[in-house]
Amino acid sequence: MILEKAIPDTSSNADVFTGFPTDTDLLDEIRALAGGLRRENRTVPEDLDFTVPIGWEERVGYLDGQPVRRLIVFLRSTGCEWVEKTGGCTMCGFYCATSRGREVSAGEYVAQFEYVMDAIDLGDYPIISIYNDGNIFNEREMPVDAIEKICSYIDGYQSIRKVVVESRIDYTPDGHVQRMKKALNGRQLEVAFGFESANPLVMNLCINKGFSANNFDVFHSRMRSMGVLTKPLLLVKPPFLTEAESIRDILATVSYCVSRGIDYVDLEVTTVEKNTVVHELWKNDLYRPPWLWSLVDILQRCRAQFGDHAHVYVSPWTYSVESLDGARNCGVCDAEITAAIERYNCRFDTAEFEGLDCSCRDGGWKEAVTAKTPLTIPERIREQLAFVRQARLSSL
């Protein structure tokens, strides 16, 4: 059943999703905190071997509407340039798994992929996803020569039909994308990107993304003109949002994607990762990752509202860095709900959620989604940043 009764319209907050953030001082505060956390933790462990990848894992992928095996390869990289420039996205701790600015050579990147090839048979996977905890088309992060060499290896496997990479939309020059597409020799190229939210206030003040939905529209048109697919990654429960707001924001963002002809989106579930703004909020009891019931509710609502126009995949909340906390319920029903989400991912069948229940659904979760605040998003961000700032000073 759709969980309508538990998601009231918090009318007192109805205006918080309008307009573009003009409070540059507040954005500067967010970036100062994010950047400071990165600088405090810039030292790279001496024992890291940059010819060995972070790791790899198998997930479900889709070709011609059917589930297939998908391999995810996590390369150890130089790190996202957006972190160097602005402190990075408020929830992203991937920088901890990178060289944190030390250049990783083309040879080292290629050696990492060769390591994976020696360990497993790539021919078992119709889809290969290559993630570098940053932007694969940014020359400062990953040399084009490394991309082309890796593609030449992939070309040796006829069974590989699609390659997925990840990049910010502002780090995707046409020339680099076209060179990779050519090197893939007819295979489908898909670029996943952190769209997070179609709402500029959430995208920029809550997440520090640094672009707008209009930028996405231009990017999507550019990729489509080159025959490249795009896959928006949407963030479930960014910091500073209530549980109900985060649900509504995802639904609005899926609707935006559908209006642009995109029928596959990934939900990325916010986890608590070290050296991030989210981590600081979490340490001070100012942030809780989303309830699993919220994920179920989002998926049921998307199915009811969009039908086959929106295939919404929930990415497993296991990443290339350790998570200190993640999506959860009361602890009693967590395993059952997580297993149902995993089954749902294989066929996008919300029937997997029928019959699921727990006392926490009408207890803790209902309380979370009915909670209201009189503060606008900028007001609550300013208040919470002040609290964190004081807590950090007190700990010195």
Domains and CATH numbers, the chain: 7-41+50-394 (3.20.20.70)
Amino acid occupying residue 3: L
Tell me whether strands 264-269 and 311-314 are parallel, antiparallel or unpaired: parallel
Higher pLDDT, 353 or 217: 353
State whether residue 210 is helix, strand or coil.
Answer: coil
Strand locations in the chain, DSSP E? 55-63, 66-74, 127-131, 162-166, 188-196, 229-236, 264-269, 311-314
Question: What pLDDT is stored for residue 211 in this prediction?
Answer: 85
pLDDT value at 13 more than 50:
no
Of the two residues 42 and 100, the one the predictor is more confident about is 100
**What is the spatial distance between Cα 35 and Cα 54, in angstroms, rounded to a whole number?**
24
pLDDT for residue 215: 87
What pLDDT shows up at residue 331?
Answer: 97
Q: Which residue has the higher pLDDT, 214 or 333?
A: 333
φ, ψ of residue 328 in degrees (nearest 5): -160, 160
pLDDT band at 269 (very low <50, low <70, confident <90, very high): very high
Give me the amino acid identity at 65.
Answer: G
Pairing of strands 162-166, 311-314: unpaired
- Distance of alpha carbon 224 from alpha carbon 230, whole angstroms: 8
User: Tokens standing for 201?
Assistant: 């206030």
- pLDDT of 5 strictly over 50: no
> For the whole model, what pTM was predicted?
0.92
CA 357 to chain centre: 28
Q: Hey, what are 138's tokens?
A: 């940014």
| Confidence tier at 45 by pLDDT (50, 70, 90) | confident
Residue 155: closest CA among 189, 118, 191, 104: 189
19 band by pLDDT with thresholds 50, 70 and 90 = very low
Given a cut of 90, is residue 282 above it in pLDDT?
yes
From CA 150, how far away is CA 163, in angstroms rounded?
Answer: 11
| Contact (Cβ atoms closer than 8 angstroms) between residue 8 and residue 370 | yes
pLDDT in tens, 121-151: 999 999 999 999 999 999 999 999 999 999 9
| Residues 134 and 101 sit within 8 Å (Cβ to Cβ) | no
Token digits for 179?
Answer: 């060179």
Average pLDDT of the segment spanning 351-379: 96
Question: Would you state the structure tokens that stand for residue 302, as one six-digit string?
Answer: 């998307």
- pLDDT above 90 for 359: yes
The yes-or-no verdict on residue 16 having pLDDT over 50 is: no
Q: What local confidence, expressed as pLDDT, does residue 7 receive?
A: 33
Confidence class of residue 22 from pLDDT cuts 50, 70 and 90?
low
Which amino acid belongs to residue 13? N
- Please determine, for residue 171, whether its predicted confidence score (pLDDT) is greater than 60: yes
